[in-house]
Structure 1
Amino acid sequence: MKNLLDKLYRNQSIIFKFFLLAISVFLIVYFFPTGGQFKYEIIKGKPWQYENLYAPFDFAILKSDEEIAAEKSRIRKTHIPYFQYDVSTAESVKNNWQEKLDISQDSLVKSDQKATEFISKTLDEIYQNGIRIQDGDDNNYSIIFLIKNKQVEELLYKDLLTQQDLKPFLISKIEGNNLSNLKNELLEIFFEVLEVNVEYDEELNQKQIQSKFEQISYTRGRVTKGSKIIAKGEIIEGEKLRMLNSLKYEYESQSLESSAFVVVITGYTCLVGLSLLMLLLFIRQYRPDIYDNNNKITFIFFNILFLVFLTLLVLRLDTDYVYVVPLCILPLTLKAFFDARLGLFTHMITVLILGLIVPDSFEYMFLQIIAGIVTILTVSELYKRANLFISVVQITLVYIFAYFAFNMIKEGSIAEINYNNFIYFLLSGVGLLFVQPLIYAYEKIFGLISDLSLLELSDTNSKLLKELANVAPGTFHHSLNVANLAEAAANEIGANSLLIRVGALYHDIGKMKNPIYFTENQTTSVSPHDELSPRESAEVIINHRLEGIEIAKRRNLPDRIIDFIRTHHGTTTVYYFYAKQKEDDEGEEITDKKDFRYPGPIPFSKETAILMMCDSVEAASKSLKEPNTQLIDDFVEKIINKQIQEDQFINANITFKEIQSIKKILKAKLNNIYHLRIEYPD
């Protein structure tokens, strides 16, 4: 039992990765659609490349979108509208019209009985059907339904008076009753008392129209089992295209039998598992440092799951919206935290997984892979806002261009292209702009570091660096010089210059604990090491590494920065005190060298290796008395060659050619620092 537990403990990292792989496969497959999968690719306007296809079962032929739209348009045109009649308004006007008159109008009514009777009779006639608002539309309704007292009456649309119809209607009534001498007074009274009491019932009409829409049949005709649908070589168009799309829809919408369901799920599991396993193997082969870090592996798989679930959610809402999902946010995010190659490979694996269930899978995968490549090629220095905006515009334009070209092939006509997808591509581009807040959230959740955070850490006005400048000004100045040298060297060989600059600024923060023990901070000729033995002095010097790590952890510096503190001396020897101890021992060989050796680890990346070279060269260059070009060249060669001989770079993925380039940069920079010039003849 103990052996089993020991074995599990030793292999816990591998067990975790396979557990993560299994959980990811399960979650993805669980949410995959489980209908039947149509095994043929349908490309409009192209010949049918497969054998003759016969109907495997009876199925209905789906109507085209144009046919459905035409039926809906006909329903709207033939729909008899409903209007609501307000009885209370009509009764109020007819019974209380005299109360609204002014003194002159009231006296006219009381003095002329005929006018009073005319007004009452005309009001009854007007409110027989009511007055409606002029709607401004050229509606050609012939008849309408008028809802009055919860009863529906059918009448001609023209029998509903509008406010504009009232004046000619009233004039004809006044003249027909021989009241032309009171025309102006009567018109003034009518316009004073009349009120609109009929309005179009928007809610009821929409319900009625929607109810009729739901009764539309989305199929026309049927194809019987065994009927030939299309022969090999026939062009996929017209009725053939409709039958093929109908058969595909039937396949994908029907529920599978239990045995078939198990088979489909097994197939999905195998393909998704194989895809994610390939990603793991890629990381293990080419990014071993990431593979060994379970937190980073979890982060990569989380991003894949997030975008797969987002795409599945959109597909369930409407397949037309599939391009709204900003899938290129995946390579953007991974490039910010890791590198472009891993970002692109992970993006392609994700696209392959989604290609199993999205419609028009080849077109989808082509567009997404092309967009992912453009994302990797165009997005650089993500912390610069202008770069992100420019890259998003380029990605969106590539989407639109590729989609347009693809559909020119499919449709054979520019007029047939669905231009609505261009809007979806624009929305996807807007979604990509949220990558910066997303990266910030990931940094807090997973404890990772991106270029955005590195830029903040590189600010020399930060609290920790200002403290370093106050407590150990010589060390701060040394760190600035190392940062400049390391950044130039990193740019020369294509390493991460921003990361190495930040690492260089913080690599010696451990010297803040005992700054006076380091020569760059000593302002007098008296050294505190004079009171210590060589072993004690070496211990103080070596301990600045451990003290730097402790300070960095207390100040919440990222692990990638702490790595520079750990490795910037590797396993080298504090040679000055080692030689002094040998001298004190009268040249005898020192048996316990570990007292004078840094504990490591040695550099394990290009960036940490560059920092070791630059730190050693910059620190030792202060001992040069009368530097010249030849002396500096020999000096740089000697220091770096010694580090190579001591195997300080065997774990770093850096080549001899790159080391030679770094030497060249350091020599040039030191020559500039010491302002060396060629010697002119007398």
Structure 2
Amino acid sequence: MSKLYRRIRENQGDIAKYALVLLTIFLLSLLFPDNVRFKYDYQIGQLWNHGDLSAPFDFAILKPDSLVQSEMDAVAAEMGVFYSRDETLPSIATQSFGDDLNRIIQNLGPGDYPDLQQQPTKYIEVGKQILQQIYSDGIVARDSTNQERVVKVVEENIVSTLEPHSIEEVGELLKSKLQNSGLHNASLLFTLLERQIQPNINADPVVTQKFLETAQQKISRTKGLVQEGDLVISGGAIISEDAARRLDSFKIAYESQISENKSYWVVFGGYLLLTCLIVGVYLFYLQYHNREVFKSARKLLFMLMWLPLFGYLVHVVETNGTLSAYMIPFCIAPIVIKTFYNDRLALFSLIVIVLVASFLSSLGYEFTFLQILAGIVTVLSNHITRYWSTFFNSILLILLTYCLGYLGLALIVEGDLKTIEWSLFTWFFINVVLTFLAYPLVPLLERIFGFTSSITLSELSDVNKPLLKDLSMQAPGTFQHSLQVGNLAEAAAEEIGADSLLVKVAALYHDIGKVAESEIFIENQSAHNPHDHLSPLESAQKIIEHVPNGVAMAKKHRLPKEIIDLIWTHHGTTRVEYFYQAAFKEGNLPVDAHEQFQYPGPRPSTKEQAILMLADSLEAASKSLKDPSESSINELVDKIIAYKMEKSQLDNADLSFRELEMIRSSFKKVLKSIYHIRVEYPEPVENSANISSEPI
């Protein structure tokens, strides 16, 4: 058991990577469609590039959506509006009328309205009868949109026709009924009755919609039948609208019938096979072309997370029904990945993401084509993410790519600008607006995964940062040295395509450990030299201490790991040669002299680390040139590089001979410009009118 546990601990990194891969495939498998795919792609106006297609079973030909919609609109127009009766309103109105009349009667004087006071009950009964009769006939509110005399009223699911009174008609009706009532004081009731009149026959949108849906469901969606064995389309024929309708009908019937007859697990197995193939190819690429990503579970998680993330977005959009997958900002992935890695990995990752999204989406090859094309433009145009102007220009190019790409595809298919689906341009616009999310995502993902972006490096290059401020104040000579090292390293990195911003910023911080005892280092000394009172070993150890001291300060101020690694490696495992030789001359070399006079290392393992080591040594050594000339600078550069190679300091740096020569040439060029080395012109030749003494 302990042996198994030990083996698991030793291989926990590999186990974590395999678990991430399986988790990615599992999450994608949850999004697989459960139906088979139609095996033919076709467009109106194109040739049918297959053989004769005969129907394997009977299927109905579907009507065009436009025809079905027009029939539904006709049903809606013919049906009109349904009304419902408010059954509670008559009783409320009669009760309110009676209460109002009783209050009036109680307030009458002895001689007021004698007939009313003699028979109040009769007046109340007559008023209530009039209200009940009018409400029984029905009262409707008519306006400019509703002028029908006869309306359809639904009562207990039974539809009946009725010719109700309008509000305007009820007033005249009340007067007529009161005049014929035989009451002496009938006019007193008019105002009270009129106050109780409200529409009790009202348009009912819920009932109307219910009847409309029932009627529309009876509309046939099909027009004609293709029987088993009938020809659906002949090979090489041009796909007309009628042919496309037959193919659409066959596709729907095929997917429905075949899905019912085929096992779900067979379809699932097909999708799973494709997913494993795509993920496997992706891992193969990472293993052989980006080993640093493949070896780190954290970095591998960052690369794999995009697959289920965009797969889920496609799934949500597809199941929604009202959205389009064209709104999904796939270009966010290459923008973010390129910020932390390189162009090739960003583009390859986008292709893998789009391939996965393509078989989860119902859209055709146009979707895949446009997304890959937009991704290529993203990688080519988005050079520097940290600058808003270039980022915004890149976004505009992405929008232009989508629009022009779709327009070209649409013209091929439709052959006419009038029939192009212009609404898709809205989705493209939403897509590029969402792509702006890449900018805030960069610092967020940087903190989550421990990356270092160009945005962070740009912030760290500010000389007003606390560490650089302290360095410039307490060790001004070191600060100037760091600036020059940065110039040298940046130029060399750009020459070979390394991360020039990283190495430049690292150069600013590589000697921050000298702040603790700045006077120990010659660039910060004035008249007094502390080494006069120290042994060679003590001097060497104080100088060596600036590397671990710098690392400690960098960690305290939470500098990125890449910069900390560059601080560790900028001297590699070389010796403090000056004091080693001094101790040797004095005969005071200890037994373990090599270790005690040696920097802790490790040796550079990246191109940026190697460039910083060489630039640091060159800048310091160039200060010893008493009379800098082109030949002396060339000799110095060659000597420093040869020494580092002799001491095996560049063995792990992944530098080719060609790149090393390019670095050598860059160093020479920059040093010559620093020391203002110019071409020596010959003395002017006397008595020669044909040779000018002016420099060319």
Interval containing the TM-score (normalised by the shorter chain):
0.7 to 0.9
Look up the match of 2:40: 40
1:551-566 equivalent positions in 2, closer than 5 A: 551-566=553-568
CA RMSD of aligned residues (A): 4.3
- Cα deviation for residue 337 of structure 1 reads 1.5
The aligned residue for residue 619 of structure 1 is: 620
How far apart, in 2, do the equivalents of 1:534 and 1:441 lie?
49
User: Tell me, what secondary structure is at the counterpart of 2:416?
Assistant: coil
What is the CA distance between 1:679 and its match in structure 2? 7.0
Counterpart in 1 of 2:297?
Answer: 294
1:475 and 1:389 mapped to 2: Cα distance? 39
Which among 300, 304, 307 is matched to residue 307 of structure 2? 304
Whether 1:132 and 2:133 are equivalent positions in the alignment is no
Shift of 1:196: 7.4
Question: Cα offset for 1:79?
Answer: 2.9
1:458 to 1:91, Cα distance in 2 relative to 1, 3 A:
farther
**Residues 114-156 of structure 1, C-alpha deviation per residue, up to 9 Å, x if partnerless?**
xxx9xx999997996545364x6x67978543579x8987558
Residues 413-453 of structure 1 deviation map (CA, whole Å, 9 limit, x = unaligned): 33332222222111111211111222232122222222222
CA distance in 1 between partners of 2:537 and 2:646 (Å): 24
Q: 2:93 touches 2:197 (CA, 8 Å); kept in 1? A: yes
Aligned to 1:396: 399
Q: Which runs of 5+ in 2 are unaligned?
A: 101-112, 114-125, 176-190, 685-696
Whether 1:29 aligns to 2:11 is: no
**Match for residue 550 of structure 1?**
552
Gaps of 5+ in 1: 100-109, 111-116, 175-187
8 Å Cα contact 2:310/2:357 also seen in 1: no
The 1:449–1:57 alpha-carbon spacing in structure 2 relative to 1, beyond 3 Å, is farther
Match of 1:491 among 491, 494, 501: 494
566-575 vs 250-259, which moves further: 250-259
Q: 2:152 aligns with which of 137, 145, 164?
A: 145
Contact 2:137 2:164 in 1 (8 A): no
Q: Closer, same or farther in 2 for the Cα pair 1:201/1:503, shift >3 Å?
A: farther
Distance apart, 1:607 and its partner CA:
2.2
Shift in CA distance, 344/172, structure 1 to aligned 2, threshold 3 Å: same
Of the structure 1 ranges 84-93 and 453-462, higher mean CA displacement relative to structure 2 is found in 84-93
- Which of 464, 478, 481 is the aligned partner of 1:478? 481
The amino acid across from 1:631 in the alignment is S
1:295-317 superposed Cα distances (whole Å, 9 cap, x missing partner): 11111001222111211222222
Q: In structure 2, which of residues 513, 529, 547 is the aligned counterpart of residue 510 of structure 1?
A: 513
Q: Aligned in 2, Cα 1:131/1:544: closer, same or farther, shift over 3 Å?
A: same
- Alignment correspondent of 2:55: 55
- After TM superposition, give the deviation of residue 269 of structure 1 in Å: 2.2
Q: Tell me the equivalent position of 2:108.
A: none
Q: Given the superposition, is the C-alpha separation of residues 660 and 78 from structure 1 closer, same or farther in structure 2, using an over 3 Å criterion?
A: same
Distance 1:259 1:84 in 2: 50
State the alpha-carbon separation in 2 of the partners of residues 216 and 571 from structure 1: 86
User: Mapping of 1:34-433 within 5 angstroms?
Assistant: 34-83=34-83, 129-130=138-139, 132=141, 134=143, 144-146=151-153, 200-213=203-216, 216-253=219-256, 256=259, 260-318=263-321, 321-433=324-436
Distance in 1 between residues matched to 2:200 and 2:523, nearest whole Å: 94
Change (3 A) 1:654 1:58: same
Query: Does 1:646 pair with 2:647?
Result: yes
Alignment of 1:570-585 (within 5 A): 570-585=572-587
Alpha-carbon offset, residue 514 of structure 1:
3.5
Residue 31 of structure 1: SS of its match in structure 2? coil
Give distance in 1, aligned partners of 2:611 and 2:214: 73
Moved more, 416-425 or 212-221: 212-221
User: Which deviations, in whole Å up to 9, do the C-alpha atoms of 1:249-303 show, x marking residues without a partner?
Assistant: 2343457579743333333222211211111111121222222222111110012
Structure 1 residues 79 and 561, CA gap change in structure 2 (3 angstroms): farther
Report the Cα distance in structure 2 between the residues aligned to 1:5 and 1:122, rounded to whole angstroms. 93
Report the CA distance shift for 1:198/1:629 in structure 2 as closer, same or farther (over 3 A): farther
Q: State how far apart, in whole Å, the 1-side matches of 2:401 and 2:221 are.
A: 36
Cα drift, residue 84 of structure 1: 5.9
State the TM-score, normalizing by the size of structure 2: 0.81
1:38 maps to amino acid: F
The 1:625–1:423 alpha-carbon spacing in structure 2 relative to 1, beyond 3 Å, is same
Residues 147 and 13 of structure 1: CA distance in aligned 2, closer, same or farther (over 3 Å): same
- Call closer, same or farther: CA 1:485–1:93 in 2, change over 3 Å: farther
Contact 1:83/1:200, CA 8 A, preserved across alignment: yes
Cα contact 1:472–1:521 (8 A) shared by 2: yes
2:600 alignment counterpart? 599
The answer (yes or no) to whether the contact 2:311–2:360 under 8 Å persists in 1 is no
Contact 2:93/2:131 (CA < 8 Å) preserved in 1?
no
Amino acid at match of 1:61: I
Q: Residue 631 and residue 221 in structure 1: after superposition, are their counterparts in 2 closer, same or farther (change >3 A)?
A: same
Supply the distance in 1 between the matched residues of 2:327 and 2:482 (Cα, whole angstroms). 47
Q: Is the alpha carbon distance of 1:218 and 1:454 closer, same or farther for their aligned partners in structure 2, counting shifts above 3 Å?
A: farther
Distance 1:609 1:673 in 2: 22
Cα distance in structure 1, aligned partners of 2:255 and 2:26: 21
The percentage of counterpart residues that share the same residue type is 36
Q: Letter of the aligned partner of 2:55 in structure 1?
A: A
SS in 1 for 2:368: helix
Q: 1:442 aligns with which of 409, 429, 445?
A: 445
Distance (whole Å) between structure 1 residues aligned to residue 517 and residue 220 of structure 2: 86
Q: Aligned partners of 1:610, 1:71: CA distance in 2, in Å?
A: 76
